[in-house]
Structure 1
Amino acid sequence: MKTSRRTFLITSVGVASTFALGSRAAFADAPKVEESDPTAQALGYKLDASKVDKAKFPKYAAGQDCGNCQFYQGKAADAFAPCPMFANKLVASKGWCSAYAKKA
């Protein structure tokens, strides 16, 4: 059976969309990082960036939060999204940790 290019492309887009939606749904079920988590404590993670101990983490500057960090794997408008620093657990968009790196 010969497949046309159009059929191949339509099928490919459908399959890719299914995987994208499926992985997004999997992240929705991922646990949120708790501040008591050992990795969170080691990285100084706070659910609310305004509560970062500036004496302990002098690298922190106002305006830095997970939503504008290069590691945040969601849109800035998402309240929570996966972060590779926390094994893809969900971090708060308004959160912060010492691994913060400004999104390019």
Structure 2
Amino acid sequence: MDRRKFFMSGALGLASLVGARSVLANECKVGAEPAGKKVAKNKERLDYVVNAADAKSHAKYKAGSTCANCKFYKKAKEEGGYAPCPMLANKYVSNCGWCKSYAAAK
């Protein structure tokens, strides 16, 4: 292997490590529920799940859909990764969650 190929393969290996790390960093983490707030529970209404990864088998679910990027999620009132959602009677939902009323924010 000549010097050029050696450095090119090293650069490609480094790039793949950085790419894998960024994918893992984007994985959603569900935090603790906000104290004193009404929080929606799994399968309570509208097939809501606290972690969108649990909705993969639902026919309406599309990869990348979470409460955090839904138009109904009230980001301005967010507390520790939870915010009220009018689709679930203004109960607090996880930013990692998902329900069948999901609509992408514009």
Question: Is the structural similarity TM-score above 0.5?
Answer: yes
Distance 1:84 1:35 in 2: 16
Q: In the TM superposition, what whole-angstrom CA distance separates every residue of 1:72-98 from its partner, at most 9, and x where no partner exists?
A: 001589510000011111000000000
Match of residue 50, structure 2, among 33, 37, 47: 47
Residue 98 (str. 1) matches residue 100 (str. 2): yes
Check whether the contact 1:78–1:93 (CA below 8 A) recurs between aligned residues: no
TM-score (norm 1): 0.60
Aligned length: 72
Distance 1:65 1:91 in 2: 10
Match of 2:37 in 1: 30
Secondary structure at the counterpart of residue 75 of structure 2:
coil
Q: CA RMSD in A?
A: 2.3
Q: Which consecutive aligned stretches of 4+ in structure 1 deviate over 4 angstroms post-superposition?
A: 75-78
TM-score (norm 2): 0.59
Unmatched tracts of structure 2, length 5 or more: 1-33
Identical columns (%): 38
Secondary structure at the counterpart of residue 64 of structure 1:
coil
